[in-house]
Chain A
Amino acid sequence: MTLQRRALLQSLTAAVFGSALGCSRDADRGSAQSVALWFSYGGKNREVLERMVHRYNQSQQGIRVLATFQGDYFEALAKLRTAIVARSAPVMSHVVGEVVPYLHEAGVLEPLDAYPDAQNLGLVPALAQVGTYTPTEPKPLVALPFNRSTPILYWNGAMLERARLSVPESWDELREAAKALTVRSNDRVSTWGLECPISWWFWVALMGQAGGEVMGADGYPLLGEEAGVEALQLWQRMVHEDKTMRPPPGRDYNAWQVTNQDFLAGRAAMIYTSTAFLRYLEEHATFPVRAAPLPGFRRRAVPTGGTFFVMMKSAPDHEKQAAWDFLRWMMQPEQTIEWATSTGYMPVASDAVARLEREGFYQKSPNDRVAMDQLKYAMPWPWAESLFRVQRECVDPRLEEAVLNRQDARSLLNEARKQALEDT
């Protein structure tokens, strides 16, 4: 018995040490300059990124990018901030657009203007730093667009056809379509008309469609004023009065994931989610997946989403140079095409868009075109240091309260505004 145990332990130890050595051998191959990249994609998108990083590493000798998964956007951002304090930050990471102004004002981002070719990357304006934020006095280039997206409306082709509905163009039509698509038996809903994560991004879209703005030109947190309230009330109505919309359970990206699952399982006929999941949904659905622009209200409007690559100012120069080489490579049409066509994110290089157009990609997969077309309604984010805090601390939790606990939308947003103005 003891002998057996010992043998077992020995083989276990051997296995553990063996693979540990294996890993380290892989990590410091040759004398290449290693640069760290932290990323926060899971699943499908992670696989694509890892594949691309691998291809980059194979494509040249001098630089080796080590990509580390750090959890979802918010988790990774938390990690990044603590790492900056600890002076153990990677040279590159990618962060949500909302936090770029804050990180810049905190002085941790490396200005990229002076790097070779920085001025002629040929990026799609609405997706690059300049077009993503409201014009302010010129800011240095600190962020390169990578995975950029807009929210779009996905619908279950089979269900919509069966219900003989056309794609909703306005909030009213959306409510009607959701009513028609909801399937109930004995008060229990088996298919929801609409499912949409109760989250900042989608609220901003609705608020913009109702004619609001997140912040005034002076940085005052408007939160859409009346439009913000109307946006919340649309959700409240659809969830509690019409009972045609399911607020997906779970916090942050958990809810997004549930939305995807419900759509794939036929529990939701229409969903609002990011264009990022296009490929994933198409690949796993047993029905035709269709995409459409978000319905409008007073106007059409969508925020842009996703992340930007940033470089840390604190990193040593040689690492920054190497990292720039990788970033520049990633901005090239070939790479942005690979990334966009394998995921559903938008290609960020103008040449890439033109080439895809030329080669008939958008003809073949019209779903991919939706987000691109929607860009003309994109609302720029205010370049405000407090934007991220307003999102995470003031607005996000209150959206949940409004929809799940059915609290008064107006007073919640008033509270949020008050909190946004606090200075401590």
Chain B
Amino acid sequence: MLRPRHRLHPYLFLAPTLGILGTFFLFPLGLAAYRSLYRWDLLTPPRFVGLAHYERLFSSGEILRTLTITLSYAAVVVSGSMFLGLLLALAVNRKGKFVAFVRSCVFSAYVVSWVSVALLWMWLLDADAGLVGRACKALGIGEAGLLTSPSTAIYALAGVTIWKITGFSMVVFLAGRQDIPEDLYEAASLDGAGPLARFVHITWPCLRPTTAFVGTTSLIVSFQAFDIVRVMTQGGPTHSTTVFVYAIYEHVLLNLRAGRASAMVVVFFGVLLLLTLVQLWAWRMGRRSR
């Protein structure tokens, strides 16, 4: 740590960054908190209603419903992409053209836009005209269309998300795996440890920080999901895919309720804050065990 040459230097260096972050992220959040106390449709003058929006959001069960949907989506996405990513990372952890090719294939989905992926899978999952949709139908899964029946839609979205982001967790896990010194494995082999024992005693513990990172990153990604919902289901059928961000978007732009949307923003931020705490805790635990 150095002493700045001029007292103002650090502040000047930080000013553009903090200025932009403050203007476009922190201040709007404060503004949202203020607006959440008003009934406001953007066009006619706002009217003060106190905490009525919060009361409504909680008493109508909307918060609970939205949170449940978001959480079940996140749970599937996080566990699915982590599991698949880890498995793939271990499988492609060798040299050679073929595995490099497989790696590129899987990772490429991470590079392509959500819109592309959403449109593509919307077509693939179509129960009548889609390759995957028809296959599923033939197997007796999702007769009514995976994306279009309330009981499966959110999991279909989660599946597409997993397809999109598994490449990311694979690459991160792979890097984590390659950081583990090979002599650990050699020593274990000499001691007669099989592949499973080596995984349980070496790979898994050494990958713990990586796991924490992948887990929290994909958790945040899934809490911020919007594009895929907007393109593929618009929150439906019957609200079954109305995740948090989509609910906010719907309130303000489609239902003409800027006030209630703002209240939703505040609650959503609370949830995200909670998630950060979990993240920080997970990182700390991960680093400590390294």
Chain A residues with a Cβ under 8 A of chain B:
74, 78, 81-82, 84-85, 102-103, 105-108, 249-252, 254, 258, 261-262, 265, 267, 388-389, 392-393, 397, 400-401, 404-405, 422-424
With an 8 A cutoff between CB atoms, is B52 at the interface?
A: yes
Known contacts being A261-B128, A392-B254, A424-B49, is A85 close to B39, with CB within 8 Å?
Answer: no
Q: Could you tell me if B259 and A424 are in contact, using CB atoms closer than 8 angstroms? A: yes
Q: Could you tell me if B237 and A249 are in contact, using CB atoms closer than 8 angstroms? A: yes
Q: Could you tell me if B149 and A249 are in contact, using CB atoms closer than 8 angstroms? A: yes
Q: Which residue of A lies closest to B251 (CB)?
A: A393
* CA gap between A190 and B255 in the complex, in Å: 38
Q: Which residue of A lies closest to B259 (CB)?
A: A424
* CA gap between A251 and B233 in the complex, in Å: 7
Q: Could you tell me if B43 and A400 are in contact, using CB atoms closer than 8 angstroms? A: no
Residues of A contacting B147 in the complex (Cβ-Cβ under 8 angstroms): 249
Q: Could you tell me if B128 and A401 are in contact, using CB atoms closer than 8 angstroms? A: no
Q: Could you tell me if B239 and A397 are in contact, using CB atoms closer than 8 angstroms? A: yes
Interface of A is mostly: helix
Q: 10 interchain pairs (CB within 8 A)?
A: A78-B254, A81-B42, A81-B256, A102-B256, A106-B43, A249-B144, A389-B256, A400-B238, A424-B259, A424-B260
Q: Could you tell me if B253 and A404 are in contact, using CB atoms closer than 8 angstroms? A: no
* CA gap between A405 and B147 in the complex, in Å: 15
Chain B residues with a Cβ under 8 A of chain A:
39, 41-44, 49, 52-53, 56, 127-129, 144-145, 147-150, 233-239, 253-256, 259-260
Q: Could you tell me if B56 and A424 are in contact, using CB atoms closer than 8 angstroms? A: yes
Q: Could you tell me if A265 and B128 are in contact, using CB atoms closer than 8 angstroms? A: yes
* CA gap between A250 and B256 in the complex, in Å: 23
Q: Could you tell me if A404 and B150 are in contact, using CB atoms closer than 8 angstroms? A: yes
Q: Could you tell me if B149 and A74 are in contact, using CB atoms closer than 8 angstroms? A: no
Q: Could you tell me if B52 and A251 are in contact, using CB atoms closer than 8 angstroms? A: no
* CA gap between A390 and B255 in the complex, in Å: 9
What is the distance, in angstroms, from A415's C-beta to the closest C-beta of chain B?
9
Residues of A contacting B127 in the complex (Cβ-Cβ under 8 angstroms): 249
* CA gap between A253 and B235 in the complex, in Å: 14
Pick the contact of B56 from A82, A393, A422 — CB < 8 Å?
A422
Residues of A contacting B129 in the complex (Cβ-Cβ under 8 angstroms): 261
Residues of A contacting B43 in the complex (Cβ-Cβ under 8 angstroms): 81, 84-85, 103, 106-108
Pick the contact of B255 from A254, A392, A404, A405 — CB < 8 Å?
A392
Interface of B is mostly: loop
* CA gap between A213 and B88 in the complex, in Å: 60
Q: Could you tell me if A249 and B41 are in contact, using CB atoms closer than 8 angstroms? A: no
Q: Could you tell me if B234 and A251 are in contact, using CB atoms closer than 8 angstroms? A: yes
What is the distance, in angstroms, from B143's C-beta to the closest C-beta of chain A?
8
Q: Could you tell me if A106 and B234 are in contact, using CB atoms closer than 8 angstroms? A: no
* CA gap between A254 and B49 in the complex, in Å: 36
Residues of B contacting A423 in the complex (Cβ-Cβ under 8 angstroms): 39
Q: Which residue of B lies closest to A246 (CB)?
A: B144
Known contacts being A85-B42, A423-B39, A424-B56, is A393 close to B255, with CB within 8 Å?
Answer: yes
Q: Could you tell me if B39 and A250 are in contact, using CB atoms closer than 8 angstroms? A: no
Residues of A contacting B52 in the complex (Cβ-Cβ under 8 angstroms): 424
Known contacts being A249-B145, A251-B233, A393-B255, is A405 close to B56, with CB within 8 Å?
Answer: no
Pick the contact of A106 from B41, B49, B144, B238 — CB < 8 Å?
B41
Q: A108-B43, A400-B237, A422-B56 are in contact. List 15 more A-B contacts (CB 8 A).
A: A78-B254, A81-B42, A81-B253, A84-B43, A103-B43, A107-B44, A249-B237, A261-B129, A267-B128, A392-B255, A397-B239, A400-B150, A424-B49, A424-B53, A424-B56
* CA gap between A400 and B260 in the complex, in Å: 23
Residues of B contacting A105 in the complex (Cβ-Cβ under 8 angstroms): 44
Q: Could you tell me if A401 and B238 are in contact, using CB atoms closer than 8 angstroms? A: yes
Q: Which residue of B lies closest to A267 (CB)?
A: B128
Q: Which residue of A lies closest to B263 (CB)?
A: A424
* CA gap between A102 and B236 in the complex, in Å: 25
* CA gap between A392 and B239 in the complex, in Å: 13
Q: Could you tell me if A397 and B238 are in contact, using CB atoms closer than 8 angstroms? A: yes
Residues of B contacting A252 in the complex (Cβ-Cβ under 8 angstroms): 234
* CA gap between A344 and B41 in the complex, in Å: 35
* CA gap between A349 and B273 in the complex, in Å: 59
Residues of B contacting A250 in the complex (Cβ-Cβ under 8 angstroms): 148, 236-237
* CA gap between A393 and B260 in the complex, in Å: 13
Q: Quick one: which of B144, B145, B234, B260 has the most chain A CB within 10 A?
A: B234
* CA gap between A103 and B234 in the complex, in Å: 24
Sort A-B residue pairs by CB-CB distance and give the 9 closest, nearest first: A249-B148, A251-B236, A78-B253, A106-B43, A251-B234, A400-B238, A424-B52, A393-B255, A249-B145
Q: Could you tell me if A389 and B128 are in contact, using CB atoms closer than 8 angstroms? A: no
Q: Which residue of A lies closest to B146 (CB)?
A: A249
